[in-house]
Structure 1
Amino acid sequence: MLRIIRTRLAGVLTLAAMAATSTAVSAGPGHDHGPEPTSAIAPSSPRVVAVSEGYELVGILEDGKLTIYLDRTTDTSPVPDARIEMTVGGETALAKPQPDGTYLLQSPILNRHGDHEVIATIDHGGRSDLLIGILKNIPGRSHSDHATYDHDHADHHRDEKAGRAQSPHGDVTLISKLTSGIDASMQQLSNAPLLAGLGLALGLLIGAFVRGRAGLMLGIIGLVAVLGAGVAWAGPGHDHGEGGTALAQGNAPRRLPDGVLFLPKPTQRLLAIRTRVLATETARSADRLIGRVIADPNRSGLVQSTIGGRILATAEGLPALGQRVKKGQVLANVEPAFAPIDASDVRQTAGDLAQRIGVLEARIARQQRLVDKGVVNAASLEDLAIERNGLEARRKALTEARNEPEKLIVPVDGVIAEVRVVAGQVVTTADTLFNIVDPESLWVEAISFDPRMDPSGAKARARTSDGELFALTFIGRSRALQQQATVLQFRVDKSNEALSIGSPVKVLVEKGEPVAGLIIPRSAIAQAPNGQLVAFKRLEPERYMPVAVRTRDLDGERVIAESGLKPGDQIIVEGAPLVNQIR
């Protein structure tokens, strides 16, 4: 019975040893029949980077065409109207401007494998600059650097090795294979102590159950099985260790393992990235108020009708928006319109005047005959004539009031800001027909919930939604609260077309003592996933480093960087929140 158990145990251990030692095989070149590992990101395109004090140039090679991105070094703004002469590998060509603000270069030398020196001559705005860079990593076939492996099994058959050795690169291939095998063997020998320990433990376990020569043989077989289980190595190009999924360098924006952001130029153009070189500045903190642009009441006016009626256009037609007009100019006419009761009164008054004038004319005729005969003096005749002339003047005025249109006259010099009439429109005395403003004389009306605020003597500015600033001069404040707020009025010192009546603005009223430091826009600060505030520092034209910063508010629109940045650093000031989303 004991012998049967020993025999079966020996058989089981023998099968285990055969299964373990079956892995001790060498995969030859090209003999990996499993799925190829996939790259997480496609390989990046060859590119050239050149930077000078005025310009930075990035060229990306795709499909044999070099797309060139030319930006200003100081703020990363595109330069779309320059003349770029490129010299690549000794050949010179002119880069063609493209509608999207880039430049395109086509040259046969761009298809050659290897690195090429690139010299770019920039002509822009009467200024010339020279940029030099290297176009790196142009793909191509190289026998020394890119050995390819296929499923030709001649390398593993003795009868075909001789023919394969006649290849001019056979020695190199053989040496590389031997080197690969030796490296794999040395790697396995580094695990020899562990494997020997496992073999010894297995031998002691077998010796406890099996005595004599059978136990010795089974121990040897187990030791060989344990040691042979790790003696397999892969041929060149068939290593399946760590890194089976390659993370290649692609053209998509991403965070690199060291935390640096790779931000390719196409993405920078898409996100409208702008940068700024930091320098120490002096400024005051400020209170921020909400305001709007209004017209100067002394240089603006409304045109209304004093009678109700129908609009009649002049010979030049009705004025258009934005048309400049002069004081006293006629804009339109209003034909009087009377209600039925008013028309009846006018007709009655006109008839009464006509009757009285007729009676006076008859009396004057009789009086004239008496004067001619010397019966009465001429004084009575003169009184009747004066009365008749007065009645005729009243009848004429009544007729003109009924038929003559009212002229709508411009009250001040300026431009037409509003036109609310069309020809034939019936208007009333309460309607505003035209609004005239002087665009060079504008005010800003702001509200403050702090009744103690006194902007007199303080420097004030208005900021539009586009970020443009306008200097303001304080005019006055209201002593009556409107919705629990005080109304403040400022005069715009110098306006332009960017300001329109009714435009919302933010009024910044400076206060306190001047402070010095690195003043940056609040839009340049983003919040990292860990909650820290960061700014993106430029390392290279396409590489930015998130830098943790500590800031202090200045005026709601700007902050002072107290730590993390230093003068001379170039950071992103427009588009930082979008860059912060890159993972």
Structure 2
Amino acid sequence: MALMETTLINLANRARRILPALAGLLMLLPATAPVAHNGIDHGDDAAAAEIHRISEPRFAERTERTEVVGILSGSRLELFIDAPGSNRPLDFDQVTVEADGNSFSATRIDAGHYRIPANWIRPGTEHSLLLTLTSPDRHDLVATSITTAGTPDMGQAAWQPEDVAIWASIGLLAVFTLWLIRLGLPGHRYSHLTFDVVVATAVIAVVAVASGMVPLHTNAEATTSSTDTGHEDPRLEFRIRRLPDGSLYVPKPAQRKLGIQTRLPQTAQGHNSISLVGKVQASPSGSADIVAALNGSLVPPEGGFPRPGQKVEKDQLLATLKPTLDPEQRADKESELAYLERDIYLIRKQIDRIKSQKVVRQDNSVQLDIREAELKGFLGRKRALERMFHAEIEIRSPIAGVVTEVGITAGENVKQGDSLFQVIDPESLWVEVISYDDGVIGTLSKAAIQSPGSRRALEFIGQGSQLRALGTPLYFDIENPAGLNAGELVNVDIWYGAEIAGIRIGEEAVSVDPRGSRVVWAHVEPERFAPRSVAEISPVAPGTAFIAGDFDPSVPLVDTGAALLNAAP
């Protein structure tokens, strides 16, 4: 027990001698962890600070001709060159970078993607760069700079918790072992000195590893040869981040993956618009509902009945109707026919008797004329009755058009008034729209049917004087009705009101954000996109829309891929 107490007292005394030296050593160690600076002036302080925190060392510059983003990835400097107005990749025959008195030629990796070695960029340094972009049809100079602090990608030691644990275990094991040795050799003249040196060395090693002074793991990728020309560097960042101001940080590699393209907006004058559902109808002069005039059976013409969708000409034979009579009607007509035949027989006898007289008096001549007239009338009535039993009525189309409905079959018995055929002239259609806004009716400017890839102009005919579904019916004539069908529902855009200022942009540029609001995305910086609210939008032409508001025509708007940006977390 006395030996143990003596040992503990000696340990405490040695610790008091070692701790001041260790404290001085700790003061010499780095006080902060390595950080990276991206070298970009983002305008908005909050956005710049967030990008500074999450991004790799980089630079981004935009000129009138080009937009260049450089990303330091290991021992490589990746260059992405795009057109500033469209965000499409630009290729140059030669891309050179001048820095620190040296000139580097970039290697083309993909469209608008170049790479140069970056072994000359050291941690904690700032380098001024001059990029020369040359091709037969364009030339540009871009001056910029890139700043770095100590980063693992530059080959410096990377702090690994498992390494610290290993070294700490080794140091403690060494201390414990030497302490046991000292206990076993109390008379050794160097035991005290050895113990103090080992303890100090172990503690210093642990602290050095934890602070990054002793490299345990070097970044193997950082020492990779810069001549690698693989098409994709797995170290490049693709993650989209939402910044505190609501804008999106979209790394240039991610923009390439998503196919983000932009377009400069065009200032224009336009009108407010409203989109309503309309119904295509056949005009009264361009449609015909053909019905049966009598009861009967139908006989098809040569070639058969016309089929739905078949074109027919005016006065074209559609069917033949053979009238039929019910038993009562047939009995009445047969009885009437019998009486007519009797009367015809008697009149003929009277005519023969008058003609047989040798002396024809004047009154007999008058009687002969009367009887012959009566005979003629009876014969006409007889022929009419006979036609009712055996007659055929031709059914012809009153207009030229397309058969839209056939309600019969061969040999079918139809009743008087039954619908047989419907024929519509496809060139004579109009649209009915129900409007619930009186302001639209009073200031209507123009209207059109909008469908994917096409636009059909409408001519306003007038409005109905009777409400329908609590709204006012509006009627429009279709200038080009080809391809439309009666009864079809269509989207009708109506422009109304006074002219207002705005811009023209592609319809795909307008998207709906997670809150349900319509927005467009402005490409405010090479790797930052900001949403802009859209209050009024009106279609102008297929694929083009008019947006009311005050927009900067020099700031590109996302034309392709806006919906993908809205889906960002």
Runs (5+) with no aligned partner, structure 2: 15-64, 66-84, 95-105, 120-152, 184-188, 223-231, 242-247
- Kept in 1: contact 2:440–2:496 (CA 8 A): no
Aligned to 1:388: 375
Runs (5+) with no aligned partner, structure 1: 15-52, 54-72, 77-87, 90-113, 119-132, 145-179, 241-246
Aligned to 1:458: 444
Aligned to 1:312: 299
- Kept in 2: contact 1:13–1:222 (CA 8 A): no
Counterpart secondary structure, 1:505: strand
- Kept in 2: contact 1:549–1:565 (CA 8 A): no
Paired AA for residue 445 in structure 2: K
Structure 2 counterparts to residues 305-454 of structure 1, below 5 A: 305-370=292-357, 377-450=364-437, 452-453=438-439
Aligned to 2:499: 514
State the shift of 1:214 in Å. 7.8
Q: 1:501 to 1:353 in 2, by over 3 A?
A: same
Aligned to 1:283: 270
Aligned to 1:255: 240
Q: 1:530 to 1:344 in 2, by over 3 A?
A: closer
Deviations 1:526-545 (A, max 9, x none): 344588864346799xx986
Counterpart secondary structure, 2:364: coil
State the shift of 1:316 in Å. 4.0
State the alpha-carbon separation in 2 of the partners of residues 186 and 421 from structure 1: 89
State the alpha-carbon separation in 2 of the partners of residues 519 and 364 from structure 1: 95
- Kept in 2: contact 1:534–1:546 (CA 8 A): no
Aligned to 2:44: none
State the alpha-carbon separation in 1 of the partners of residues 316 and 491 from structure 2: 37
State the alpha-carbon separation in 2 of the partners of residues 383 and 313 from structure 1: 45
Structure 2 counterparts to residues 74-85 of structure 1, below 5 A: none
Deviations 1:104-135 (A, max 9, x none): xxxxxxxxxx95699xxxxxxxxxxxxxx678
- Kept in 1: contact 2:155–2:218 (CA 8 A): no
Q: 1:529 to 1:512 in 2, by over 3 A?
A: closer
- Kept in 2: contact 1:275–1:572 (CA 8 A): yes
State the shift of 1:474 in Å. 2.0
State the alpha-carbon separation in 1 of the partners of residues 568 and 389 from structure 2: 76
Deviations 1:413-452 (A, max 9, x none): 33333333333333333433222223223211111223x3
Structure 2 counterparts to residues 222-233 of structure 1, below 5 A: 222-229=199-206, 230-231=208-209, 233=215
State the alpha-carbon separation in 2 of the partners of residues 238 and 74 from structure 1: 38
Q: 1:264 to 1:416 in 2, by over 3 A?
A: farther
State the alpha-carbon separation in 2 of the partners of residues 412 and 366 from structure 1: 56
- Kept in 2: contact 1:294–1:443 (CA 8 A): yes
State the shift of 1:343 in Å. 2.1
State the shift of 1:475 in Å. 1.8
Aligned to 1:547: 530
State the shift of 1:282 in Å. 1.0
% same residue:
24
- Kept in 1: contact 2:298–2:413 (CA 8 A): yes
Counterpart secondary structure, 2:492: strand
- Kept in 1: contact 2:291–2:418 (CA 8 A): yes
Paired AA for residue 323 in structure 2: P
Paired AA for residue 201 in structure 2: V
Task: Work out which of the residue numbers 234, 238, 246 in structure 1 matches 2:216.
Answer: 234
State the alpha-carbon separation in 2 of the partners of residues 393 and 333 from structure 1: 24
State the alpha-carbon separation in 2 of the partners of residues 443 and 453 from structure 1: 23
Aligned to 2:79: none
Q: 1:437 to 1:373 in 2, by over 3 A?
A: closer
- Kept in 2: contact 1:456–1:474 (CA 8 A): no
State the shift of 1:495 in Å. 0.7
State the alpha-carbon separation in 1 of the partners of residues 421 and 294 from structure 2: 15
Paired AA for residue 581 in structure 1: A
Counterpart secondary structure, 1:415: strand
Deviations 1:191-235 (A, max 9, x none): 9xxx9xx99xx9xxx9xxx9x998876554432221222456436
- Kept in 2: contact 1:449–1:484 (CA 8 A): yes
State the alpha-carbon separation in 2 of the partners of residues 365 and 264 from structure 1: 111
Counterpart secondary structure, 2:249: coil
Deviations 1:342-371 (A, max 9, x none): 222222222222222222223333333236
- Kept in 1: contact 2:282–2:430 (CA 8 A): yes
- Kept in 1: contact 2:86–2:261 (CA 8 A): no
State the alpha-carbon separation in 2 of the partners of residues 397 and 251 from structure 1: 97
Deviations 1:172-199 (A, max 9, x none): xxxxxxxx999559999xx9xxx9xx99
- Kept in 2: contact 1:293–1:501 (CA 8 A): yes
Paired AA for residue 413 in structure 2: V
Aligned-residue CA RMSD in angstroms?
A: 5.2
Aligned to 1:69: none
Q: Which moved more, 1:340-349 or 1:255-264?
A: 255-264
Q: 1:491 to 1:395 in 2, by over 3 A?
A: same
Aligned to 2:97: none
**Under a length normalisation based on structure 2, what TM-score does the superposition of the two structures give?**
0.58
1:3 equivalenced with 2:3 (yes/no): yes
- Kept in 1: contact 2:157–2:218 (CA 8 A): no
State the alpha-carbon separation in 2 of the partners of residues 5 and 418 from structure 1: 114
Counterpart secondary structure, 2:304: coil
Aligned to 1:63: none
Counterpart secondary structure, 1:315: coil
Aligned to 1:491: 477
Q: 1:355 to 1:258 in 2, by over 3 A?
A: same
State the alpha-carbon separation in 2 of the partners of residues 546 and 445 from structure 1: 43
State the alpha-carbon separation in 1 of the partners of residues 458 and 487 from structure 2: 16
Q: 1:530 to 1:387 in 2, by over 3 A?
A: closer
Paired AA for residue 259 in structure 1: V
- Kept in 2: contact 1:330–1:408 (CA 8 A): yes
State the alpha-carbon separation in 1 of the partners of residues 407 and 431 from structure 2: 25
Aligned to 2:458: 472
Count of residue pairs brought into register by the alignment: 409
Counterpart secondary structure, 1:234: coil
Structure 2 counterparts to residues 171-182 of structure 1, below 5 A: none
Counterpart secondary structure, 2:468: coil
Q: 1:402 to 1:136 in 2, by over 3 A?
A: farther
Deviations 1:28-77 (A, max 9, x none): xxxxxxxxxxxxxxxxxxxxxxxxx9xxxxxxxxxxxxxxxxxxx9899x
Q: 1:580 to 1:427 in 2, by over 3 A?
A: farther
Task: Work out which of the residue numbers 549, 552, 558 in structure 2 matches 1:571.
Answer: 558
Q: 1:512 to 1:364 in 2, by over 3 A?
A: same
Aligned to 2:81: none
Structure 2 counterparts to residues 167-246 of structure 1, below 5 A: 184=157, 219-229=196-206, 230-231=208-209, 233-234=215-216
- Kept in 2: contact 1:307–1:336 (CA 8 A): yes
- Kept in 2: contact 1:334–1:407 (CA 8 A): yes
State the alpha-carbon separation in 2 of the partners of residues 181 and 351 from structure 1: 122
Q: 1:412 to 1:214 in 2, by over 3 A?
A: same
**Under a length normalisation based on structure 1, what TM-score does the superposition of the two structures give?**
0.56
Counterpart secondary structure, 2:269: strand
